[in-house]
Amino acid sequence: MKKIFAILAVFPVSAATFGLAGTAGPASAAVQPAAAADGSTVTFTSHSKADRADDVIDCRAVLSNPHNSSHFRGRVNVKGVVTCTQRVTAIDLTAFLSYGKSLEGVGIHDGTGVSEWSVNAASVTCHTGIWAGEMLVDIVAPPGFFPPFTAATLHNTASVPKCPAK
């Protein structure tokens, strides 16, 4: 049986606080999550008997801290990226951006037959203060790989100290 690995990570770009939660998909009995010492990485591995390098797919998800948009002045942005070592059946990403209790931006991007996929969530306006980003990740492995499905949620927060004029 072939296997797939998913490495899910949050990389803060400042001294912001963040949390990370990962869950495996429906066939997760053989999947054991292991957290890195710094709490920023969760690794999902299967316990199959694959012995060839091409029988393993490694996937890594990264969610940026909320930050001033470099594309649209006066907006806040969060970006998520998933990169796999081989094409997978599907990568479905949903990103959320919130300020306080207000949902400020949502991005949904679903890809099939890809090895890399990204999503953005941007606000319409900028507010100084604490912003939160979240990304839901679903990865569907090719037929014959185990686990066949992996899911995780990545969270982080960051302070936006200044809002540039539009």
What pLDDT, in 10s, does the model give residues 109-162? Answer: 999 999 899 999 999 999 999 999 999 989 888 887 878 888 888 888 999 999
Q: Indicate the pairing of strand 41-44 with strand 34-35.
A: antiparallel
Quick check: helix, strand or coil at residue 37?
A: coil
> Does the pLDDT value for residue 11 go beyond 50?
no
Buried b (16+ CB within 10 A) or exposed e, 5-43: bbbbbbeeeeebebebebebbeebeebebeeeeeebbbb
Residue 150 domain flag: yes
- Confidence bin at 59 (pLDDT 50/70/90): confident
Higher pLDDT among residues 38 and 136, named by residue: 136
Is 38 a domain residue? Answer: yes
Structure-block tokens of residue 1: 């049986």
pTM score > 0.85 for this model? no
Query: For residue 107, what pLDDT is reported?
Result: 96
Residue 148 within a domain: yes
Considering its fold, how many domains does the chain have in total?
Answer: 1
**Domain containing residue 132:** 2-160
- Residue 70, domain member (yes or no): yes
Which residue's entry shows tokens 């001294």?
A: 15
- The answer as to whether 166 is a domain residue is no
Confidence at residue 54, expressed as pLDDT on a 0 to 100 scale? 59
- Per-residue pLDDT tens digits for 74-96: 999 999 988 888 888 999 999 99
Any domain includes 102 = yes
Which one, of 84, 41, 81, 83, lies nearest residue 63 by Cα? 81
Residue 40 is assigned to a structural domain of this protein: yes
Any domain includes 165 = no
